[in-house]
Amino acid sequence: MDQFHIIGAKQFDRANLEELFELTEEMEKVEASGGSDRYKTKVMTTLFFEPSTRTRLSFESAMCRLGGKVIGTENAAQFSSAIKGETLEDTIRIVSGYSDVIVMRHTEIGAAERAAAVATVPIINAGDGAGEHPTQALLDIYTIQKELGQVDDLKIAMIGDLTYGRTVHSLSYLLSRFNGIKIYYTAPENVLIPPYVKKFLEVNHVEYVETNDLEEVAAKVDVLYQTRIQKERFPSLDEYEKAKGKYIINNSILKLMKKDAIIMHPLPRAGEIATEVDTDPRAAYFRQAQNGLYVRMALIHKCFEKQGFVKKTIKI
Amino acid sequence: MDQFHIIGAKQFDRANLEELFELTEEMEKVEASGGSDRYKTKVMTTLFFEPSTRTRLSFESAMCRLGGKVIGTENAAQFSSAIKGETLEDTIRIVSGYSDVIVMRHTEIGAAERAAAVATVPIINAGDGAGEHPTQALLDIYTIQKELGQVDDLKIAMIGDLTYGRTVHSLSYLLSRFNGIKIYYTAPENVLIPPYVKKFLEVNHVEYVETNDLEEVAAKVDVLYQTRIQKERFPSLDEYEKAKGKYIINNSILKLMKKDAIIMHPLPRAGEIATEVDTDPRAAYFRQAQNGLYVRMALIHKCFEKQGFVKKTIKI
Amino acid sequence: MDQFHIIGAKQFDRANLEELFELTEEMEKVEASGGSDRYKTKVMTTLFFEPSTRTRLSFESAMCRLGGKVIGTENAAQFSSAIKGETLEDTIRIVSGYSDVIVMRHTEIGAAERAAAVATVPIINAGDGAGEHPTQALLDIYTIQKELGQVDDLKIAMIGDLTYGRTVHSLSYLLSRFNGIKIYYTAPENVLIPPYVKKFLEVNHVEYVETNDLEEVAAKVDVLYQTRIQKERFPSLDEYEKAKGKYIINNSILKLMKKDAIIMHPLPRAGEIATEVDTDPRAAYFRQAQNGLYVRMALIHKCFEKQGFVKKTIKI
């Protein structure tokens, strides 16, 4: 059977994204009105081979809000069958028989694609190692649309660890679906945006610049997309502290920002946005996390409707 | 929005307790009739930063009996966001958006209060370190009321580790809401009831005595509230064994007890009530555990009704 | 109250099994039609003192398909009360009060029987150490019936670790309820079927042979029931590899098999059935795993109907 799977950001074209925006808005209304029991006979299995409590709870809550039931495991690293040497394919074949949709997080790149190849129910990729985490990218782009009323013609800064932070890669792919975008990659020398992402943008005619000057960027952009900088990426603690200090969003950065710009962050944060920023209306990161619930409700709904988004991959 | 949170025993005054008793009785009927689906669109999140399987299952079952849905984590010590340095406040802000009520257990005193300060849904404290565990105290006081028909004018012995056992502290606070109470603190020298609890009782005019003679006490009281004595509190294994032996409730203690007295224990027990006692009708500890279900149903119901008990703190 | 518990394979006589077959067929229809909400007010607790993700998810999905709710713990080895020294009996007494049925997995033989002795709700044994795992045996026998239309007069080979693999023991017990059975125990010297199983078969007039020649057996039987061979049972890695190699089901074994025979495996597998076999229609092991869902639905239903199978034990 031809299933609808959510594997990577690149499978979504502009029409898919616009349909998703519309559907997500509907889901906000469903949630605000106390939820639905539309999918009360459906079962979601959350298979998390590495822990990600927040993401798991977000999916599980989305399923509950649609009336469905959830089973799962929060630590499939201890998944007893995997320990006994079972392949991911065998696990998915069997769990498919217990489920109407499987939300999977795995440590290996490509695991979601492998799961989708044998599953008899939709697979939603909740992160596969250094690979993709498409629902994060989708909630990011939805947040931009919702907060600013459009995605076209925006200036977006992505800040922090641009090498290992997979959310900025996936968001870059999605932004390529819109017009007049300009991305400001703002990062320390050792965690720059990778060449293959830049190549992708060039092929898709997306304008971008690279810089290490947060203050200059802050004054120009519509979106400041902040991410964590991880200690272990730096040659010394000293260099880490220096880099980190330069990229903190605080009240002085706020003062430089446009009045209707927004600050986003995939969360969790660990100091790179000062808490003094939280009360500013431009601080959109908690609203962004909340949007994750609505976007996931919309995606689960699409899985059950079995009239999923056309899966297209664009060339790189 | 002004939420109703359940943080500590002291927030309940006598009127609150009497309302709770009445509501809990109703909940017993709801459960006996096979449960309700009143809250079928509601979602409870159980956030347990340290494991407490029994307490968690009790809350989750209570939510199910009211028709609600449960998501959660049974080991948030591995909570991935916390590991990445996220503050409790950020976690609660986000999980609030996925939930209609959060039941939280944490290792640090005051964690529930901190959570309540930022939550947009009710927080129920299921234990915060050496701090409070108010639902245990509430099920204890309900059990006394239900078993003996009253709380006023009772003689209550609390036995065992009175220094570190937080349940006896919270129960002491709740007993101060009633009249004619006399408490017999019955403990080895090294785990006596702390001065601040005694101070509280004095301010609130509650009579109490301290003793180390279980046999004498057993003959006098209406309630024997037994607790575990923990090995690690004693200077030597020898002294531990000696102390422990003196405070075991067995058939010879049963013989001394009044005919209509009851034996309570927050459970789990580890030998301090002999199993030979289990069949005596005065052994109320399994009924007490069962009452936990009904009390938690009542409390969850109050959270959703949003007409919570007035939060008052009495001076110490 | 006299409860219906599912403790071991031997409690099922032929009439029970035939009733179960019929009920399971009905459950397949219930599942295919999108599930039921018949038991929407019922709560199942899954108490897993050792992890077995697959089995747990199968039970939880079965409960969901019947409309019920599930609470539980996926790692009761860390069960906080057990760590504090609580007996299994105390745990079960209390959890009984939160549940309508308890599915329990434990590390010790006889744990399910001990639980049933004190439970006030049905206990379903999901494996007690080297003891029984009756629902696996029941799904095995159901699979044979469904795939081949009968169990009587069949030739069944059990292959691999016949000493420690409890599923082959339980399946042997169930096969004794049928007529004209012949079992081919096919195993390396060091993991032969134990004397007490052979004794049981002799008392119950079941024909069996012991062999180590998989090729010869493959040509004769209606069912090849494969199991894992575990490295640690062998004196040396060399002997393990030699033994393992001799018992792999692959395309050359397939060629020897009867056209309408089937291959079964309790799963997970770790190489003892080559993946090249998966596409052959005789590969029944994934269908077998799926049958587990239906059989468990049937068993849960029987628990709630409280008109359980008569518990009989046949002499050994």
The answer to whether residues C128 and C138 belong to one domain is no
Check B133, B177, B296, B302 and give the catalytic one. Answer: B133
Q: Does C86 touch chain B (CB under 8 A)?
A: yes
> Are A211 and A123 members of one domain?
no
Spot the catalytic one: A24, A45, A46, A55. A55
Q: Is A120 a catalytic residue?
A: no
Residues at the binding site of A for carbamoyl phosphate are 54-55, 105, 133, 136, 267-268
Residues B91 and B148 in one domain: no
Residue B265: give its domain's CATH number.
3.40.50.1370
C-alpha to C-alpha distance for C24 and C291, rounded to whole angstroms? 9
Catalytic-role residue among B29, B53, B84, B279: B84
Question: Which residues in chain B are closer than 8 Å to C76, comparing Cβ atoms?
Answer: 53
**A158 and A275 both lie in a single domain:** yes
Interchain CB distance below 8 Å, A84 and C268? yes
Q: Based on the domain organization, do C114 and C227 belong to the same domain? A: no
Considering the domain architecture, whether residues A206 and A121 belong to the same structural domain is answered as no
Looking at the complex, report in whole angstroms how far the Cα of residue B28 sits from the nearest Cα belonging to chain C.
12
d(CA B79, CA B90): 13
Tally Cβ neighbours within 10 Å of residue B302. 20
Chain A residues in contact with B39 (beta carbon < 8 A):
none
- Which of C73, C79, C86, C94 is the best substitution to test chain B (most B C-beta atoms within 10 A)? C94
Tell me whether A252 touches chain C (CB under 8 Å).
no
- Please state the separation of Cα B203 from the chain's center in Å: 23
Mark C288-306 as b/e (b = at least 16 C-beta within 10 Å).
bbbbbbbbbbbbbbbbbee
Q: Are C67 and C38 in contact (CB under 8 A)?
A: yes
Q: B244, B229 in Cβ contact below 8 A? A: yes
Indicate if C127 and C222 belong to the same structural domain.
no
Q: Which of B36, B38, B52, B57 would best serve as a mutation to test chain C binding (most C beta carbons within 10 A)?
A: B57
Q: How many domains does chain B have?
A: 2
Q: Could you tell me if B61 lies within 8 Å of chain C, comparing CB atoms? A: yes
Alpha helices in A37-181 (DSSP H): 53-65, 80-83, 88-96, 111-118, 134-148, 166-175
pLDDT tens digits, residue range B294-314? 999 999 999 998 654 444 333
CA A310 to centroid of chain Cα atoms: 19
Burial bucket for residue B290 (CB in 10 Å: 0-12, 13-18, 19+): buried
Neighbours of chain B (3+ CB pairs under 8 A): A, C
C192 is in which domain, residue-wise?
Answer: 134-288
What is the rounded CA–CA span in Å between residue B16 and residue B20?
6
Q: CB-based contact (8 Å) between B280 and chain C?
A: no
Q: Are A87 and A231 members of one domain? A: no
Provide the token pair at B206: 């509650």
**B93 annotated to a ligand binding site:** no
- pLDDT tens digits for A53-80? 899 999 999 999 999 999 988 776 566 6
Same domain, C154 and C106: no
**What strands lie across the sheet with A223-226, from one edge to the other?**
A207-211, A182-186, A155-159, A223-226, A262-264
Catalytic position from the list C5, C42, C65, C105 = C105
Q: How far apart are CA A84 and CA C230, in angstroms?
A: 10
- Give the span between the Cα atoms of A122 and A120, in whole angstroms: 7
Q: Are B270 and B168 contained in the same domain?
A: yes
Q: Which among B52, B67, B269 has the least Cβ separation from residue C80?
A: B52
Tokens of A130: 């250094």
Interface test with B, best of A64, A136, A265 (most B CBs within 10 A): A64
Question: Subunits that touch chain A (at least 3 Cβ pairs < 8 angstroms)?
Answer: B, C
**Which residue do the tokens 């392949």 mark?**
A87
B193 and B110 in a single domain? The answer is no
The question of whether B296 is a catalytic residue gets the answer: no
- The three-class DSSP label of residue B215 is helix
Q: Is residue B314 part of a domain?
A: no
The answer to whether A74 contacts B79, with C-beta atoms less than 8 Å apart, is: no
Annotate C204-249 with DSSP letters as a single string. TT-EEEEES-HHHHHHH-SEEEE----GGGSSSHHHHHHHHHHT-B
- Indicate if C237 and C120 belong to the same structural domain: no
Respond yes or no: is residue A282 known to be catalytic: no
Please list the residues that pair with C103 across neighbouring strands. C46, C124
Judged by a CB distance cut-off of 8 A, whether residue C276 touches chain A is no
pLDDT digits (tens, 9 = 90+) for A95-141: 999 999 999 999 999 999 999 999 999 999 999 988 889 999 999 99
- Tens-digit pLDDT profile for chain B (316 aa)? 456 899 999 999 999 999 999 999 999 999 999 999 999 999 999 999 888 889 999 999 999 999 999 998 877 656 666 677 889 999 999 999 999 999 999 999 999 999 999 999 999 999 998 888 999 999 999 999 999 999 999 999 999 999 988 899 999 999 999 999 999 999 998 899 999 999 999 999 999 999 999 999 999 999 999 998 877 778 888 888 877 888 999 999 999 999 999 999 999 998 899 999 999 999 999 999 999 999 999 999 999 986 544 443 333 2
| Strand order across the beta sheet in which B262-264 lies | B207-211, B182-186, B155-159, B223-226, B262-264
Rounded to two decimals, what is the model's pTM?
Answer: 0.94
Cα–Cα distance for residue pair B34/B126, rounded to 1 Å = 26
